[in-house]
Amino acid sequence: MRPFLSSFEFAVKGLKYLVLNERNFRVQFIIGIFILLLAFFLPLEGWEFFWILFSVFFVLSLEGLNTIVEEVLDFMEEKYHRKIEIVKDISAGTVLLGSMFSVIVATIIYGRVLFGISRFSGFIIGIILDGFLFGLGLFGGGKK
């Protein structure tokens, strides 16, 4: 039974590391808490609540995987290498895709509940917001 309980201890240590040491995870964690609290207090249907919950945990899981990739690559090679940069960029891009998905889910569901807009309109608003996020990544403060 001890090894089973130890796995939870290790998992909590890993989550604690993410929250304390990874700024992006921390920001997404705080946003996720806000999004989930909003879901608890709004009259969502069961399927809507599921998609909100899934979206929050999906993004946090992707951010955790991104951190794993970065930590392993940094451990393996301290010097700059173009291939390592590519792998890290792909890993970060995966988090961006998950975040874009979550924005669409949120605008579809919260758009209907808070503003009475159709699912299609929520989808379009989500796409527009995603375009903005993508533009920030494309033209914003990345190091190159």
Q: Identify the DSSP state of 79.
A: S
Please state the residue numbers annotated as binding site: 22, 63, 70, 88-89
Please state the residue numbers annotated as binding site for a divalent metal cation: 22, 70
80 burial via Cβ count (<10 Å: 0-12, 13-18, 19+): exposed
Residue 63 annotated to the active site = yes
Task: List, in order, residues 6 or more apart from 118 with CB less than 8 Å away.
Answer: 112
Choosing from 63, 77, 78, 85, which is the catalytic residue? 63
Please state the residue numbers annotated as binding site for ATP: 22, 70, 88-89
Task: List, in order, residues 6 or more apart from 51 with CB less than 8 Å away.
Answer: 105, 109
Residue numbers annotated as active site:
63
